[in-house]
């Protein structure tokens, strides 16, 4: 797992045990209390060798500055 300065999270799976992930796996992040989270995959055979998952904020495509005319 790699955390960068902008807050992006990169999860890299080099090799995974197919016996463990062949039928189901869950990927995601949550706060320390487990109340707020972001789910990437739930109970699905999603994980595989060389998988990379990147979680980051989206960049706003539109900004509004009412103080500038």
Instruction: Determine whether 47 is exposed, middle or buried from the number of CB atoms within 10 Å of its CB (0-12, 13-18, 19+).
Output: buried
pLDDT value at residue 9: 94
In a domain, 63, yes or no: no
Number of domains in the chain: 1
Would 65 be classed as within a structural domain? no
Task: Tell me what pLDDT residue 51 has.
Answer: 92
In a domain, 66, yes or no: no
Tell me the pTM: 0.69
| Model confidence at 7: pLDDT above 80 | yes
pLDDT in tens, 8-63: 999 999 998 877 766 788 899 999 999 999 999 998 888 889 999 999 987 777 77
> Is residue 43 in some structural domain?
yes
Task: Provide CB contacts within 8 A for 61, sequence distance 6+.
Answer: none
The DSSP output letter for 43 is: S
């Amino acid at each position: 797992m790699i955390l960068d300065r902008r807050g992006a999270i990169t999860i890299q799976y080099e090799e995974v045990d197919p016996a463990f992930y062949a039928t189901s796996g869950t990927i995601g992040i949550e706060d320390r209390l487990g109340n707020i989270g972001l789910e990437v995959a739930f109970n699905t055979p999603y994980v595989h060798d060389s998988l990379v998952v990147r979680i980051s904020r989206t960049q706003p495509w539109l900004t509004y500055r009412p103080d500038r005319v």
